[in-house]
Amino acid sequence: MRIQRSRERSSGFRKQRNPTQKLLAIDAAIRKAKREKLELHMISLDIRKAFDSVEHWTIREALSEYGLGLPAHMVETIMDTLTNTNIQIRSDFDSQTRYKSERGVRQGDPLSSTLFVLAIDPLIRTLSQVGGSN
């Protein structure tokens, strides 16, 4: 089995893509597999609140010696922006409720999308290895 990746079918972080285009791409892949009698396996990831769900340890691992190999001081600087953060929620009932940020990346931070991709990269690599793709 071989995993075929297609940037044209990937729609993450692309505003111009809509559900209809995704469904048409899936339909085309199914029709081609049937026509050419090919084995077909598909995966679709739709992660709700993706940036909020990333565990900090996965980011640390991706940045450190096991991942990118960044020097420890750079890893710590980046991690400080994530782990030394408090979230304040304002409401009519309690206007100063604070919570410590225990996971996720910061909304609006230019590094957030990169950190998210680095955190999920091991999943992508594992899927490629299982499928026999390079």
**pLDDT tens digit sequence for 74-87:** 999 999 888 877 77
Please give the pLDDT value at position 46: 65
Distance separating alpha carbons of residues 61 and 120, to the nearest angstrom: 11
pTM of the model as a whole: 0.59
Mean of the pLDDT values across residues 93-120? Answer: 80
Band (pLDDT 50/70/90 cuts) for residue 5 is very low
Please give the helix or strand (H or E) that residue 88 lies within, else none: strand 86-89
CB 44 within 8 A of CB 127: no
Highest-pLDDT range among 29-33, 64-68, 104-108, 129-133 = 29-33
In single-letter form, the type of residue at position 119 comes to A
Distance separating alpha carbons of residues 28 and 14, to the nearest angstrom: 20
Query: Residue 1 above 50 pLDDT?
Result: no
**Picking from 6-10, 47-51, 67-71, which range would have the lowest pLDDT averaged per residue?**
6-10
